Structure 1
Amino acid sequence: MAKIKPISYLKANAAEIMRTIADEPGPYIITQNGEAKAVLVDYESYEQEQETLALLKILALGEQQVREGKTRPAAEVFEELRRRWQDD
């Protein structure tokens, strides 16, 4: 669950937040003047989110190519791969 903290808390307790984030992954939502302005997450969570986003982009691109008819029969692709492996 996200922890909501004002920027003044972040400034005063940065070291504590860094320790907490390492032990209890989960985002900190940092507010300024009562409005959410930033999100602070541990590095591992950030990396996992980036990998997930990359996979989702690949899936979206694949779906778009299918809608546009940019596909090839699987048998044709497998045959091309077999030829490439034999040439190596």
Structure 2
Amino acid sequence: MRYSTQVKPISYLKANAADVLQEITECREPMVITQNGEARAVLQDVASYEQTQETLALLKLLALGQQDVDAGRVKPVAEVVARLRAKRSA
């Protein structure tokens, strides 16, 4: 993805808000909004935002799991399975 093709000044956003929303929804590419020549915000469609949030949540779970492994907070699979079977039959 090349952000250079999706950079627009805030005046463009103000004048073409409906078109911008339609474009980012159809293309599913974020748009960088500039103010006084500097990047100030990124505008993206809701589906892409939700997908990004889900991806970040999964990455966080993986990182937390790795922290548990690194800290030695793990149990052998056989022990966990035996405990779950014992709970189910109780």
TM-score scaled by length of structure 2: 0.89
**Superposition RMSD on alpha carbons, in Å?**
1.1
1:84 aligns to 2:87 (yes or no): yes
1 CA distance for matches of 2:38 and 2:19? 22
Which runs of 5 or more structure 2 residues have no equivalent in the other structure?
Answer: none
Q: Which amino acid aligns with 2:22?
A: R
Give the number of aligned pairs.
87
TM-score scaled by length of structure 1: 0.91
Task: List structure 1 runs of 4+ shifted beyond 4 angstroms.
Answer: none
Identical aligned residues as a percent: 57
1 CA distance for matches of 2:89 and 2:20? 56
Q: Which amino acid aligns with 1:15?
A: A
- Partner-residue secondary structure (3-state), 1:71: coil
Alignment map for 1:13-28 (pairs within 5 Å):
13-28=16-31
Partner of 1:48: 51
1 CA distance for matches of 2:81 and 2:72? 19
How far does the alpha carbon of each residue in 1:8-46 deviate from its partner, in whole angstroms, 9 at most, with x for none? 111111000011112111000111111111111111110
1 CA distance for matches of 2:34 and 2:87? 55
Residue among 4, 8, 12 paired with 1:5: 8
Structure 1 residue 80 displacement after superposition = 1.6
Q: Which amino acid aligns with 1:22?
A: T
